[in-house]
Structure 1
Amino acid sequence: MKNGDDHFSFFNIILPGQTKFDTMRLPQRFTKKFAKNLPQDATLRGPYGKICPVKLRKDCEGYLRIVDGWELFYEDCRFEGGEFTVFTYDGNSHFEVRVFEMSGIERMGQFHGECSNNIKNNKVQKIDDAVMLEKAGIKPPYLVKRLMSYHCVKVFVLNFSNCSATEHLPSKRATVVLLNKEGRSWDVTYIPKKNQSTFSRGWVHFVNDNGLKEGDLCVFEILSQYEIRVHVFP
């Protein structure tokens, strides 16, 4: 489907059983249309407003695939299987993605994002969210994460992509302290990696003691290198 000379839309279905590690294949017609000017780097923005950097790469069959970042976008959209998605390419390395649930209702969201420290380069919605957090007394640097089921059931680890906010955290494996709004504290193991970092040992106790569940939005306000206050928006 065409939307002007540079804009191009196509749909895709997230199949039941598909996971975040199954890269997204783009239609061959799209690949042919933009073959001469297709960038290797692109961005996706879904229903919750987060802008995710990704890579575009051809597979052995000549189809273009979204890789290196698709898994984070998959998490942010909270795909479960059966969703109908509409991708609109703006002709300048960016895709807007609309997501429709099996009921036919479009998925919408106000809060989004994982790294919200650098407001200057963010879109209007991110600025609005930053103002909202500021009114709540939450100051940067901070990390924003919406919990998925595996963050709070069975697996009990929390992964988040590295951004400017993580520069304020330890550069090596260390124990950091998580504080809730009442001032209670939990020791959690923080493991920094090249592309993403993890809260592992101790995270399960913070989840259980604070009654966190899938869908909760957590804002990790970095107070110091080894101390983080966690604000939870159910």
Structure 2
Amino acid sequence: MKNVKKNRQSITIGSTTEKMARMSKEEKKPTFFQIICKGFNTEKLTVPRKFLTHVLKELSERAILKLKGSSDYSWTVNVTKTPKGAVRFNGGWQEFLKDNSLGHGDFLVFTYDGKMQFSIDIFDNTACHRIDDKINPNSISSSGDDSVQNLSSSESSEFDESTEEEEDEEDDSCKDSEATCEDNVSEDSEATQTESFKSNFPHFECVIGESVFVPSAFSRKHFPQGKSFEVILKNAKGKKWEVKAYPANGSHFLSKGWPEFASANKIIIDSTCIFELLRANTMMVHIV
């Protein structure tokens, strides 16, 4: 009996060690996230510019998408590169969203497995990890040949550029999904991220991406958790816009109504803005 017990312990320890090793290896893989925003990334998906350093050497005309932890199905999407250097998933992306019943507010984490293959974790708008039970298998291609033909750097910089030249000009509001935000949640502090800006109100500074992702610390302290709600945004002249805030991954992001506010106030991708909370659900937006 003692030998059996020792063997069982040995197997358990070995399995745990292997699992930890796999997790450690997984953590080293590059990742990026996307929040599904209707009208921004439901037609096509822009890969964050900072992430391109991980894929440029292997860039090809198509990519393979899989759900993390599942090898039953895969989706092939076309990859294009615009004259301004943006890399996008086009053909096949809408099918991936449809087949997986993905909608506005869903939060996706892309893990790069190499050779233009991505594993995707899905979190719904309750900020919970979604179990793989919403797949529509009718139009899904099975995961057979996942090989992707690599292009040389010169070829990859040229493919499909001409087809998106006009589109790139029209799509200035959603070229890069990354938004770098920092917060200052102190009620009585005047310390700010920008030397020229001082305020006693809670505020955060954000580099604008496709939408505005509110820092989690700021969201937890000032916004209702796990709920969507309306936010009033004001410009320097006091004009107001109504914007929808959606819960995502323990925080919130501003989406519906944001494009109109950004367009009216000439806010573009990579602009830096300071969001100042004047009172409950009302913020003044300062363009730095």
Give TM class, smaller chain: 0.3 to 0.5
User: Rg bigger for which structure?
Assistant: 2
Which has a greater percent of helix? 2
TM-score normalised over the length of structure 2: 0.37
What is the TM-score when the length of structure 1 is the normalising length?
A: 0.45
